[in-house]
Amino acid sequence: MRRALLVLVVVASALATGCSCENMRANTQVMATIDAEPGVRGMARQLVVRVYGAPGGQSGVPDTLVQEFPFPVSASDGWPTTVALAPEGRDPSRRYRIEAVALSTGGAEIATVRAISGYAEEQTLWLQLLLLDGCIGVTCDDPGQTCIGPDQCGDATIDVEDLMPWARDAGVLDGSTVDGGECDPAACDDGLACTSDYCDENGECAHTRSAALCDDDNPCTEDTCSGDPADGPSGCAYVNNTLDCDDGVFCNGLDACSGGECVHAGDPCGASLECEEETDRCLGCARDEDCPARMEGAYGACGYADACDEDATQSRTVRTFTCVDSACEPSDGEETRACSRDTDGTSCGTTTYGEWLCSGFDDTCDVSGTESRFRYDAVCTDAACASVPTLETQPCSRATDDLPCSDGLGCNGIDSCQGGLCVGEPCMDGGIGCDAGSCSDGVECTIDSCGASGCLHAPNDALCPPGAPCETVRCDALAGCVYDRSRCNDGGGPVLLDGGVMITPDGSIAID
């Protein structure tokens, strides 16, 4: 339910000032977003963010620790984390160093990323830090350097000019929406206290869950931000565990979680001995056999290395007593055992997406096609985190009006796409030819049409007016109708033609 500009924490004290929703955008500040690649996410159980400050004009690496913030994380929860930084006294000349460290369940350092930069007056800038899988186990001893890849350290300094404006709340400094979208951050409020609601880079509502906002200070519950309204207005879910706990009292016995509460095994000394709380001892023994029997605590969580790990160990506290100077001295040890699980199909990271590609058009002018992209799901396969691709498709369209095209006709002017079709200048006779004015050759016996190479003129004898009976006629593409009088007797007497037909000099037929 919290706004993205206030996600998780705002750095205060020597480096930063507080902020409010009303003046946040006008502040000189930097929003630092820390994310991690799937491998780091799967291994990390805590993210520690340290902020160091330095006065304006001071050279070198800022080395005054301002504050340190621990955030619980898991493979699927707590990422990304955003911290708001603001300079002391609103002095934009001040500089800062931010360091994000991913830690395992046991507190071992997994990967670290650093950045050194500054502020821009009356601007909210966005600093993005990514814990790389290639930086797992890489240590950069120089505080002015950061890991940039396997066994590689580089300068951690980032020029202020290279930082982008912060726009994840859909309100860039001028109040406009992201990329011209219609997303209103106020409309993105899902009503849940453990989510940060904002407009993403696509102008759509997004919600980041944070388990840190669900901490109930009860060691006997696993606290998560489910993001489910069914869990109430907090959006938090609490599941009872069976881990060890400690109420700090010796005389009520070993403690273990049960039913969401820290319960106690009872007086460890029994009826025959006196329990002394001040020294954590049982008084009045004469030998070891007089002391309490071995006590066993509850097994803790399995220490899986990451979200996909299937084999691990879990441990519990074992307490034994030895009689020394009439007092049973307790000694706590650790007992471990193997544990396993099946993780195939379990999510182990963030789902990523490829770019949409719109294709499948029939021709240059077609406006309807199909777009596709790959979705990559981070899923555990054979105890390792794998990226599983899935092809997604959906209809798409495009604008083609006024694009150049060819309709196969060479004489109807310049062709262009209009309404999804390739058209030229108007043709008067539909599919036969073009405007007679554009292809007419002036020859009465030719059929004029428009073809791919231009105007066509096909001679047609039938279009010539009939001549005398003794004449034959043909259409010449250039000369037009040509009459042949070779069968006519222009000198006087009749001419005998085939079939016994007599033709008189005037062209009439004489009957014998």
Percent of the chain whose pLDDT exceeds 70? 80
Percent of the chain whose pLDDT exceeds 90? 29
Same domain, 334 and 454: no
Tokens read off for 145: 């350097």
Average pLDDT score over residue span 200-207: 68
Tokens read off for 102: 């991913």
For residue 249, tell me if it sits in a domain. no
Same domain, 436 and 495: no
Exposure class string for 423-461: b at 16+ Cβ within 10 A, else e: bbeebeeeeebbbeebbeeebebbebbbeeeebbbebee
End of a domain among 133, 166, 199? 166
Residue 162 phi/psi, 5-degree rounding, is -90, -5
Same domain, 7 and 132: yes
What is the reported pLDDT for 2?
34
Residue with the bigger pLDDT between 185 and 118: it is 118
Cβ-proximal residues to 256 (8 Å cutoff; 6+ apart), any chain: 242, 243, 244, 245, 262, 263, 265, 297, 298
Average pLDDT score over residue span 336-359: 87
* Distance of alpha carbon 165 from the chain centroid: 19
> What is the C-alpha separation between 490 and 35, in angstroms, rounded?
107
pLDDT category of residue 348 using cuts at 50, 70 and 90: confident
Same domain, 296 and 383: no
For residue 222, tell me if it sits in a domain. no
Question: How far does the chain reach from its first CA to its final CA, in angstroms?
Answer: 117
Q: pTM of the predicted model, to two decimals?
A: 0.39
What is the reported pLDDT for 203?
66
In the predicted structure, residue 180 carries a pLDDT above the cut 50: no
Quick: pLDDT tens for 361-418.
999 999 999 999 888 888 899 998 888 899 999 999 999 998 999 877 767 678 889 9
* CB distance 224 to 237 below 8 Å: yes
In the predicted structure, residue 295 carries a pLDDT above the cut 90: no
- 60: domain CATH number is 2.60.40.2990
Same domain, 76 and 87: yes
For residue 210, tell me if it sits in a domain. no
What is the reported pLDDT for 185?
65
In the predicted structure, residue 310 carries a pLDDT above the cut 90: yes
Same domain, 72 and 98: yes
Tokens read off for 382: 């054979």
In the predicted structure, residue 95 carries a pLDDT above the cut 80: yes
**Domain of 490, in residue numbers:** 468-510
Weakest mean pLDDT among 63-77, 320-334, 419-433: 419-433
Q: How many CA atoms lie within 13 A of 488 on its CB side?
A: 14
Same domain, 148 and 18: yes
Quick: pLDDT tens for 407-454.
777 676 788 899 999 987 654 444 444 444 567 788 889 888 776 667
pLDDT category of residue 467 using cuts at 50, 70 and 90: confident
Same domain, 371 and 412: no
For residue 318, tell me if it sits in a domain. yes
Same domain, 356 and 432: no
End of a domain among 166, 183, 199? 166
Number of domains in the chain: 5
Using only the alpha carbons of the chain, give its radius of gyration. Answer: 44
What is the reported pLDDT for 56?
60
